[in-house]
Structure 1
Amino acid sequence: MNIKNIILIGFMGTGKTKVGKLLAKRLGRKFYDSDKLIEEREGKKISLIFQEKGEAYFRWLETQVIAELSSIPEGTAVIATGGGVVLNETNLGYLRQHGVIIALMASPEEILQRVSADKNRPLLQVDDPLGEIKRLLAERSPLYAKADLSVDTDRITPPEVVDKIITLLGH
């Protein structure tokens, strides 16, 4: 039985929150979502934080929350992170201390289909969202590749992703 916390990383729309909640329930662990914790702390949506204070401020907040999440006792949590958590190497260092990092991956087209209706995605409020997804994925993919494990979420349901993760972890 893996005693570490399970950390989900990956681009927006890859299923980190949905899969994380289901995985935590299946394993009897508590679920944490770093983006939700930031929103609770600031009292506003991430899109508003980006708009009012900028991405740099948001990334600073994110690192504070990740540092706190890294102190959760081992084997008790499933943690979903924001898509850009990998942009700061410090974040991965914190998470790796007490967790196994699993990257959830999806194609740009699948991601766009999943997030196109969500107007709270500040990085996609552009003229060419598919192009922006491709650009950001090209930038972040080498960082997601630093995960301990990777699961492709294209064309499968969140419960199927959970099954894959549990199999990979040997639970």
Structure 2
Amino acid sequence: MHQPKDLLHSNIILVGMMGTGKTTVGTLLADLLQYPLVDIDAVIAESEGMSVQDIFASKGELYFRELESQMLAKVLEQKGQIVSTGGGSVLRDTNCQLMTNKGLVVCLTADIDHIVQRVGGDDNRPLLAGDTYERVSSIMEQRKHAYEFAHVTVDTSLLNPDEVATHVLTRYRVQAF
């Protein structure tokens, strides 16, 4: 597996399906390391002046994915940050290669029941229109190999956010030396 160069003070890049804990764990890691947390979806929403849901509705997923790639490249020009990506950021090989070159890529996973429990009541997720369980199942199937490029994978199903953050931080520090 490719290991990032100069890992200490590099980025920790969180990837994974929606509802796996990227934002929550990212916030904890940022506090522990005193790194800024950069949420790619939030950066996109701010730059467009509308929510991700509204971007999907008015401009489409393809437009959003292009913005996502541009913002990811821009954000990853910096070091020493926690980057929380959107679940679909891994759909482009160029994004995956960029991430592996710019930090420790950590894939957060969870089983379908935990994901549905976490995102079931969230109306701000444009890919979940309709039956949440069926939509999550479909997305998981479509992306089942998309996260394999990550340096580290952590199943968050049975761990609390502090445990996940500790695990990620341990791997970050071990791989930096």
**TM over 0.5, shorter chain:** yes
In 2: Cα distance, 1:106 partner to 1:33 partner: 20
Structure 1 residue aligned with 2:20, among 14, 18, 26? 14
Structure 2 residue aligned with 1:5, among 8, 11, 14? 11
In 2: Cα distance, 1:145 partner to 1:97 partner: 15
In 2: Cα distance, 1:158 partner to 1:35 partner: 20
Name the counterpart of 1:108: 112
Q: How much identity, in percent, do the aligned residues show?
A: 40
Structure 1 residue aligned with 2:98, among 94, 101, 122? 94
In 2: Cα distance, 1:14 partner to 1:131 partner: 17
Tell me which amino acid in the other structure corresponds to 2:99.
L
Secondary structure of 1:118's counterpart equals coil
In 1: Cα distance, 2:172 partner to 2:56 partner: 35
Contact 2:105 2:152 in 1 (8 A): yes
In 2: Cα distance, 1:156 partner to 1:98 partner: 27
Instruction: Provide the aligned C-alpha RMSD in A.
Output: 1.3
Secondary structure of 1:71's counterpart equals coil
TM-score (norm 2): 0.91
Matched, 1:85 2:89: yes
Matched, 1:35 2:38: no
Deviation at 1:98, TM superposition (A): 1.5
Query: What are the ranges of 5 or more consecutive residues in structure 2 without an aligned counterpart?
Result: 1-6
- Dislocated runs of 4+, deviation >6 Å: none
Name the counterpart of 2:125: 121
Deviation at 1:70, TM superposition (A): 1.6
Name the counterpart of 2:160: 157
In 1: Cα distance, 2:166 partner to 2:99 partner: 23
Query: What are the ranges of 5 or more consecutive residues in structure 1 without an aligned counterpart?
Result: none
Tell me which amino acid in the other structure corresponds to 1:21.
T
TM-score (norm 1): 0.94
Deviation at 1:170, TM superposition (A): 3.2
Structure 2 residue aligned with 1:147, among 146, 150, 156? 150
Tell me which amino acid in the other structure corresponds to 1:132.
R
Deviation at 1:168, TM superposition (A): 2.2
Deviation at 1:66, TM superposition (A): 0.6
In 2: Cα distance, 1:109 partner to 1:134 partner: 10
Total equivalences in the alignment: 168
Secondary structure of 1:159's counterpart equals helix
Structure 2 residue aligned with 1:47, among 49, 53, 56? 53
Matched, 1:137 2:137: no
Tell me which amino acid in the other structure corresponds to 2:10.
K
Matched, 1:61 2:64: no
Tell me which amino acid in the other structure corresponds to 1:89.
D
Contact 1:70 1:97 in 2 (8 A): no
